[in-house]
Amino acid sequence: MKNTSLCYIEHDGKFLMMYRNKKENDENEGKYIGLGGKFLENESPYECVCREVYEEAELKLINPVYRGVVTFVSDSWESQQMHLFYADRFFGSPCECDEGELMWVDKDKIFDLPLWEGDKIFLELMLSPIPFFSLKLEYKGDELVGAFLDGKPIDKTTPKTPILVSACLLGVCCRYDGKSNENERIKALRDKYDLIPFCPEQLGGLTTPRLPSEILNEKVVMKDGRDVTGEYQKGANEALGIARIFGARAAILKENSPSCGTRQIHSGKFDGELTDGMGICAKTLKDNGIFVVSENEAELYFK
């Protein structure tokens, strides 16, 4: 299996794309891809991507971000392990390249270009906030016949990224008082992402409605003094299990909740005050490598 590195370079809202129209017997002929190529002997992915980008475009990358590994399996071409990088800092301006035509393409137009089907999947993943990923793409000829994200099959025809979302944000009446925190901006993300609703407090076995709870001295206590830390942790563990079943690598969570808060939670004194801290579920997800963000910051990351 050959090893390659590939980099997508962003500048001023555009991506530097190469239209592959110059090389003989090019398996990418007629397609637009990023810049990169095969490893030389003893090269690391990072060394390879920096060298290839310089050779192809005379750009010196500054701290390209290693975003994931893509394994290509094909009945027509040698299998390939491709190391995917993203960069938005570099020295120089693109030169002529003898492998294809280099051009800056508006970020929102790259998916309209002739791309390999599988490239659309890893580009979506690269542009999303999910952490380092492993993607496997299976081709028969030019047709994508299988796609697996972190070992789990994904729908290659509508490759939406799965994201866990606090159910109350999607309109589920699962709050302690039997109401929801319905948020139209978060609901609108369903056009682009697979939103997976969950409520860790219900998953932990608590009823709805229920007395409000707050965190004090690392324990979750209901307003009547009952220690419900175990229920909260159980719900957090169940949420982590759901994330793993669906392959979700990111979560949008309701701020200020003792379960879902990502930056702030209530003080623990039931006085209406907030303090810096994370809810039990948000912390459990984060500690297990899931990117967590509140509904207030979601638009910065999910577009």
Nearer to ligand SF4, 114 or 230 (CB): 230
* Contact flag: residue 294 with ligand SF4 (CB under 6 A): no
* Contact flag: residue 5 with ligand SF4 (CB under 6 A): no
Site stretch for ligand SF4 (CB under 6 A), options 79-87, 143-151, 221-229, 251-259: 251-259
* Contact flag: residue 56 with ligand SF4 (CB under 6 A): no
* Contact flag: residue 251 with ligand SF4 (CB under 6 A): no
* Contact flag: residue 183 with ligand SF4 (CB under 6 A): no
Nearer to ligand SF4, 4 or 166 (CB): 166
* Contact flag: residue 94 with ligand SF4 (CB under 6 A): no
* Contact flag: residue 213 with ligand SF4 (CB under 6 A): no
Nearer to ligand SF4, 115 or 216 (CB): 216
* Contact flag: residue 199 with ligand SF4 (CB under 6 A): yes
* Contact flag: residue 280 with ligand SF4 (CB under 6 A): no
Among 128, 183, 259, 294, binds ligand SF4 (CB under 6 A): 259
Site stretch for ligand SF4 (CB under 6 A), options 8-16, 39-47, 240-248, 257-265: 257-265
Write out the DSSP string of the chain: -EEEEEEEEEETTEEEEEE--SSTT-TTTT-EE-EEEEPPTT--HHHHHHHHHHHHH--EESS-EEEEEEEEEESSS--EEEEEEEE--EES-----SSSEEEEEEGGGGGGS---HHHHHHHHHHHSS--SEEEEEEEETTEEEEEEETTEE--SSS-PEEEEEEGGGGT---STTS-----HHHHGGGGTEEEEEE-HHHHTT--SS---EEEETTEEEETTS-B-HHHHHHHHHHHHHHHHHHT--EEEE-TB-TTT-SSEEE-SSSSS-EEE---HHHHHHHHTT-EEEETTTHHHH--
Nearer to ligand SF4, 163 or 199 (CB): 199
Q: Are strands 161-166 and 250-253 parallel, antiparallel or unpaired?
A: parallel
Q: If binding means CB under 6 A, how many residues of this protein chain bind ligand SF4?
A: 12
Asked whether the beta carbons of 249 and 240 are under 8 A apart, the reply is no
Nearer to ligand SF4, 48 or 168 (CB): 168
* Contact flag: residue 260 with ligand SF4 (CB under 6 A): yes
Q: How far is the CB of 259 from ligand SF4 (least distance, A)?
A: 4
Q: How far is the CB of 270 from ligand SF4 (least distance, A)?
A: 16
Nearer to ligand SF4, 6 or 203 (CB): 203
Among 161, 166, 183, 213, binds ligand SF4 (CB under 6 A): 166
* Contact flag: residue 175 with ligand SF4 (CB under 6 A): yes
Alpha-carbon gap, residue 4 to 98, rounded angstroms: 18
Asked whether the beta carbons of 99 and 18 are under 8 A apart, the reply is yes
Q: How many CB atoms lie within 10 A of CB 294?
A: 21
Q: Which residues of the shown chain bind ligand SF4 in the complex (CB under 6 A)?
A: 166-168, 174-175, 199-201, 254, 257, 259-260
